[in-house]
Each structure stands twice: as C-alpha cells, then as structure tokens.
Amino acid sequence: MDHSSNAHDAAATGGTCPVAHSAPAPQEVVPSTALPVVDMPRLKQVLSIWARPEPYLKNCRAKYGSRFRVTIIPGVPLYVISAPEDVKQMFLAPRDVLHTGSSNTPIEKWTGQNGLAWLDEQEHTARRRSVMPSFRGDALKRVQQEVVRLAKHEVASWPRDRAVPVHPFAHRYTTKVILEVLFGEHRPSCEPEMFGEVMKMLEFNSRPSTMKPFHLLPSWKMTWMRLFRPNGVGEFLTRRERVHRMVDEAIAERERSGASGDDLLGVMLGITDADGAAPSRVEMRDEIMTQFLAGTETTASAICWALEFLTRHPHVVERLRAEIEDGTSDEYLTAVVHEVLRLGPPIQQIVPREVVKPVEIGGVRYAPGDRLWASAYLLNRDEHNYPQPDEFRPERFLGVKPASHTWIPFGGGHTRCLGDRIALMELKATLTEILATCDVERADAEPESAHSRTVVNIPRKGARMVFRPRKVTARAATA
C-alpha cells in the first residue's frame, strides 16, 4: 500500500479521508412487486372497504406495514401507502410522473370526463388557475356570508326532541352552500327543481351498486342494470338525465343574460384559452356536476363525524361553548375542526395517483401502471404522527398548524381540494349554531362505525342525534 499517496490525499482534503465512512449506507431500492399483497379474496376486500373500512385498514397495516398492495381492481396494481415521507414524496412528484384523472373512474357516472378531476399536467394547471377565483378572494367572502346565514336557517329547521340521523340534514345544508358557489346571485330559474333532483340523485350514493363502474358495461348489460330496480341504477340514471337538462338550461339562461360574476359558472363563462376558445357546455356541466358530488358529500360527512365525536366528549363541548359565548376567538373551534378531520377524514383513501413514469418513493421503485393510494385514515391514526391517535384530543392542534403530509383530509400537492376553505367555514358555522342553540344527545350509546357512501365514509347510522332546545345558562343570559 502506498502510504505516501494516502497522506497526500488526506492533506488535499484538509486532513480528512475523502470517503465519508460515517455516511449511511445507500438505501436498497426494491421494485413495487416486492411489496406484500393482502392475502384475502378480492370480493371480500371490496366488501370490507365498503362495509368495515376501519378494521380492514388497521388489520392490513398491522400485518403488512405502511405499504401493501390491495387487489380490489382486477389487473390494477394498487398500493396503499401511509408513511408521512412516502405521502410527501408523492405530493411533490412532478405532474408528468403521477396522474389522478385516470383514477376517477368510480365517480365518472357523476362527473363525466371533462371536469378538473379528470385533467392532468398542463390541462389541469390551466383549468385550476382559471376556476380558482370562484373559491378565493371576494367570492370566498360572499360564500362565507351565505354559509353563516344558511347555518342559522338550516339548523333552526332540524327536528327537535326526537332521534334523527344528522346526515340528510347536513347534506341538505352543504348542497345549498354549493349552489351559492356555483351560481352566486344569478340563480337559475329552475333552481328549486334542480335542488330537489340533485338531493334525490345523490341518495344513490348509499347503495352498494354505486361502487360499480356500470357506465363501462356493454349496452345490453347496462339495459339489464337499469331494469333491475333493487339496485337503484335505473332511478339514478333517470334523475341524472333530468339534472343534466336543468344544468344545461341554467348555462344557456346565464349566457343569454350576459351577467358576469365570481361564481363558478360566471367564471367559466369568462374563460378563454390561448387560442381564444371557451369551455364547452359539457365541460361546464361536468364541473358543476363534480361540485354537486365532491363539494357536498365530504362536508356533510365531516359535520356528522363532528357530532359523533363531540357527543362522546362533553368537556370539549363545554370549552367550545365558553369560547363561542366569549366571542373573541375561534382558536379552540379551529382545533376541534382539525381534530375532527384527523380522526374522521371524510375520504379515508384519497384519489389514487397513477404512475406514468417510473418513480422512486421511500426506497420503492414504482412502475408505469402502478397506482399509489395514500391512506388518510392510517396516516392520521399513526402513533408516530399523533400520540394516543385514537383519542379525540383537539388540544393537540392548539397553536399547531396541521402538517401537509400528516393531515390530508383535503388531499395534497397540486390536486389539493379547491374548496378546503369553504368546507372549514361550513364546519365552524354549523357547530357554532348547533352548540349555541341546541343541547345534543346521542340516540345510541355505542359509537357509530364508518360506512362507505361512494366517495366518503359517514357514521353507519348517519349520526343519530336528539336536538333539544338549549337551556339558557346564567352566563349566556348575561353575556
């Protein structure tokens, strides 16, 4: 060995060896095919995700770790991920590496294929930037006023002194809010009929058949699906056709009026691309239909989970009411909302990302055709992210902003939900109004488990509660 050469090298590097022996060894990269596969028949997995998603996900993580493959879609390698760093890398991946549009097939029956949910790369960026004004700025201020007004009006109309499932009433509220987002002050003449049909159409979400992509079936099978009344497909399609006609009428009516506005329809009517072309009627209709689904079901679910948790934690209710009566801050209310969305994320598994170019995430090499399915439920219930993860403890968010890769009720990255701020407003407004005017009691002592409603999970019985007129306390009376 040439020791003089070693001495020369050491001198040239300031007396240190040029090889960093203390550096960690390079991480071994494994192919996605090496990840564990859930050992359960496909049909049983599908039914578990539909009927008992929480124990299914927990059992899978306990057995297989933070990454595993589920086989619920024939021929599609679908990998559940729940490690924060994996989720972060997925959110930061370039737009031309991971796509979301191709993963929205289950909701295509609602949204069509021309809305923001279906677009990727530059098309997605351009559309998102174009419609953003209807969810921010002056539009957000206008919507906030309506959110508060509707919360007072709707909560006052909820039944008193008898057990009712909260979900239908919460869903009615969130659908009225989304009409404000869509149309603003320029309401279509058919709005009352449209609202009624949309509410009836969305009832289909509670049926197992809503999970089936029947819109991809051959025409003869589709005919059979429509004729078999118990599955609800025929009624859903009939109502969807009616809603489509009314939305088309609303677009035409607005065009004839020439009225502009910062509502979604007004914004879309003002969009032109680089070539001067405007969105088609079908594109506008698909964006509106997407909001009827995604902009209502998620927040209605969150309202139900909020009451499910609050009625089991009276000390939280007491602290919330004290803050509401004081009226100088909503810090604790904000923490409660964040904790509700952590413990009961409406969408437990966010929209999968399809790999279109090879990508390495967390030491795993995913190939084109693979799909990454980030689990908000597992991420939010991981003791490494949140101590005592199954406990409802709003205090964990006091003075702490939720991290973008360990709290993902609105997704993340460049496809994060556009309506996140509106949803937070709705939750705060409804909880404030409920707690200020009602004493809420559980109809059933046992906690309600999660149950699938297409894109969201809601309490299995719809969060059955009894609303009683609130007894005015001495403190409230003198406030």
Q: Which of 471, 450, 447, 472 is nearest to 460 (CA)?
A: 450
* DSSP one-letter code for 73: S
The CA-atom distances, in angstroms, between 144 and each of 122, 154, 305 are 31, 15, 22
d(CA 426, CA 398): 20
d(CA 112, CA 314): 44
Count CB neighbours of 405 within 10 A: 21
What is the side-by-side strand order in the sheet with 364-366? 30-31, 364-366, 359-361
For the CA atoms of 122, 126, 128, 130, the dihedral, rounded to the nearest 10 degrees, stands at: 180
Count CB neighbours of 21 within 10 A: 5
* Cα three-residue angle 138-456-388, rounded to 5 degrees: 95
d(CA 217, CA 10): 71
Binding-site residues from annotation for heme? 417
Strands (E) located in 208-337? none
Bridge partners (DSSP) listed for residue 68: 80
- In the numeric block, which tokens belong to residue 157? 């109309």
Binding-site residues from annotation? 417
d(CA 438, CA 468): 5
d(CA 124, CA 130): 10
- In the numeric block, which tokens belong to residue 175? 């659908």
Taken in order 238, 242, 245, 247, the sign of the CA dihedral is: negative
- In the numeric block, which tokens belong to residue 79? 């990998």
The CA-atom distances, in angstroms, between 253 and each of 188, 248, 250, 292 are 7, 9, 5, 19
Count CB neighbours of 385 within 10 A: 18
Query: What's the longest Cα–Cα distance across the chain?
Result: 92
Q: Which residues contact 82 (CB under 8 A, 6 or more apart)?
A: 61, 66, 67, 374, 375, 378, 379, 382
d(CA 15, CA 23): 18
d(CA 472, CA 436): 9
d(CA 208, CA 454): 8
